[in-house]
Structure formats: structure tokens, C-alpha cells
Amino acid sequence: MDKKYSLENFSRPRLELPVKDSKLLLHSCCAPCAGEIMEAVAASEIETTVYFYNPNIHPIEEYEIRKDENKRFCETLGFDFIDVDYDKENWFERIKGLEDEPERGKRCTKCFDMRFERSALFASENDFGVYATTLGISRWKDMNQINDSGKRAAERYDNVSYWDFNWRKKGGSSRMIEISKREEFYQQEYCGCVYSLRDTNRWRKENNRPRIKRGIKFYNIT
């Protein structure tokens, strides 16, 4: 862990995994969503590995920025980081026919299913008794939709449980922003996939706002 970094003043109540004496596989979508959760499990001394599987992120340059930011914070906390395949062709095949679904619709469910099925499989094969995701901390996401997908994936295996902890509560949402500013994380302006980029830019055009410029916006304290 970085010598300049400390969890001494971390005030969140100590967490316990739903399965005693297990390791946690944490599926992560991006550093801003992961930061608060990673600090919480680190402060609770939960053995955690971060699993970055997000073939939905478009384009590859955006994917690399988000991955590198997440990896950087893993190095700060001393967490193992697993960079999984960027199999975008498989993702597009899974999403076929749902291109015009709205945010929080059927396309998002398919996307969650794909990422969580891979996460649960890895957890089962590598002795992680519990897996969770950082996706639910975002206020832009439907937590029930995410948790339903997470539980479905875990039900395939007898040795894996999905942790549906509500990370937004007890100050989690506000600390998410505080940590992002402190660490100066990259601040993405759309969910990740090509369709969310399309729809966000469409909304911006309708509201006389400039199109998204990727790779230039970062959180800061000021």
C-alpha cells in the first residue's frame, strides 16, 4: 500500500461477508464507482480481488482509460487486479436486437447478465465464495435490476454467493464523489457502451449542449 495513503480515519462500520471466511471477487466497472467500495472492504480487512470485465465499454480508448484508473487504485490499496478479455464481438452478439432499448431496459439486463455470468464462473473456479459488483452504487442504475442479474448468475453454482449490499447507504454515495475528487479519477460522461454514448449525445444535441469529448474530464477537489 502507498505510504502516503491511510485508512486510519475511515469511519464506515466494519463489514462482514455473507459467507464466513470467504474471499471476495469484486466485479468493477470503473474507478469512481469502485473507490468507496474498495476502501470499505479494505478497511474491513476482507481479502478482495478486483475483476475488470467490461466488454461493453466503447471505444477501446475509453476502455483503456477506465481500466487504467481502476488498476491504479488497486495498486494503492494492494488489491490484485484481473484484466479480463475485451471480447466486444461477443457483447454485440448478446445485445443484437436490443440496440434501441432505453437505459435500464432489456439491453442493460443482457449486459449485466453477460458480465456477471463470467464473474460468477471465475469466482466458482477460483475459490471465491462471494462475488459482488460496483455497479449498484451509481444513482444512474437500477439496483434491483443489477441485483437480480447478480443473483441469477450466482445460482448456477453451489459454491458462490452474490453479495447484494446497498453501497449507497450510510454515506456511500457521497463518499464515492469525495474519493473520486481526492484521487482525481477520470470522470466519464456516459455509461460505457456505444448506444449510451449515442443516446447521451442525442440528448445533449436536443438540449443545446456540446457533444461528449472523451478522455479529458477528471474529478478534482476545487
Checking if the pLDDT of 2 tops 60, the result is no
Name the pTM for this structure: 0.94
pLDDT of res. 12: 72
Report the domain count for the chain. 1
CATH code where residue 68 lies: 3.40.50.620
- In tens, the pLDDT along 75-116 reads 999 999 999 999 999 999 999 999 999 999 999 999 999 999
Residues 177 and 11: their CA atoms lie apart, in Å, by 16
Long-range interactions of 109-115: CB distance < 8 A, separation 24+: 109/145, 109/149, 111/56, 111/193, 112/145, 112/146, 112/149, 112/150, 113/149, 113/152, 113/153, 114/55, 114/90, 115/27, 115/53, 115/54, 115/55, 115/56
Query: Containing domain of residue 146, as a range?
Result: 24-206
Residue 85 resides in a domain: yes
Residue 17 resides in a domain: no
